[in-house]
Amino acid sequence: MTVEPDSLYCANHPQTPTLLRCNRCEKPICMRCAILTPTGYRCKECVRGRQKVFETALWQDYLLGSLVALVLSFLGSLVVPVLGWFSIFVVPIVGVIIGEAARFAIRRRRARSLFWVITAMAALGSLPVLAFSLGAVLGVFSQSSLLVGGSLFSLVWRGIYTAVVTSTVYYRLAGINIR
């Protein structure tokens, strides 16, 4: 005689049968709700609650990290047109330098919102020079300014700089999360 086990249903999806439970709170979860951790499957609520423990940023970290990213990104955007095609190799290194300088300034404290703010400031730091370069290409500004490169290639390299530095800074601070 065989005994059928009691059917469990996911706590978040009551129509989905499951045999899986969160290894922390024992709540029944389906594969859509399960997150694989190094110690087994957990529900999203337990993982989210555990992540809050690792957010250690203080209010001044937002200010200090933003200032470092803004200034370094602006200075890096001034150098890009001088490098030309060689900037393809240099810009990721500049992004790493900005990310590590910001990490040093915030003393390695962490918060997902902090990483987003620092990344936004790195992008914002590169935008003034990109905007002036666009204005020079369109003929709005005179091309005699040292800050403004009037060629289309200068505009393209500064656009590439903005995109690559922004993504490099974020992934340097937050790490790559594959889920």
Mean of the pLDDT values across residues 61-90? Answer: 90
Residues 112 and 174 sit within 8 Å (Cβ to Cβ): yes
pLDDT confidence of residue 156 = 84
| Mean of per-residue pLDDT scores for the chain | 85
pLDDT in tens, 98-111: 999 999 999 988 88
Residue among 35, 39, 41, 34 nearest 11 (CA): 34
Residue 85 carries which DSSP code? Answer: G
pLDDT confidence of residue 103 = 94
Q: Judging by DSSP bridges, how do beta strands 8-9 and 40-42 pair with one another? A: unpaired
Record the tokens describing residue 153, joined without a space.
Answer: 């290639």
pLDDT confidence of residue 7 = 80
Tell me: pLDDT of 178 over 90: no
Q: pLDDT higher for 153 or 51?
A: 153
Cα–Cα distance for residue pair 173/100, rounded to 1 Å = 8
Tell me: pLDDT of 9 over 80: yes
Cα–Cα distance for residue pair 36/53, rounded to 1 Å = 19
Residue 164 parent element (H or E): helix 152-174
pTM score > 0.85 for this model? Answer: no
Tell me: pLDDT of 132 over 90: no
Cα–Cα distance for residue pair 108/133, rounded to 1 Å = 35
Of the listed ranges 85-99, 118-132, 143-157, the one predicted with least confidence: 143-157
Q: pLDDT higher for 147 or 174?
A: 174
Residues 101 and 68 sit within 8 Å (Cβ to Cβ): yes
Residues 106 and 65 sit within 8 Å (Cβ to Cβ): yes
Domain boundaries, the chain: 8-53, 59-174
Tell me: pLDDT of 154 over 80: no
Record the tokens describing residue 159, joined without a space.
Answer: 């656009």
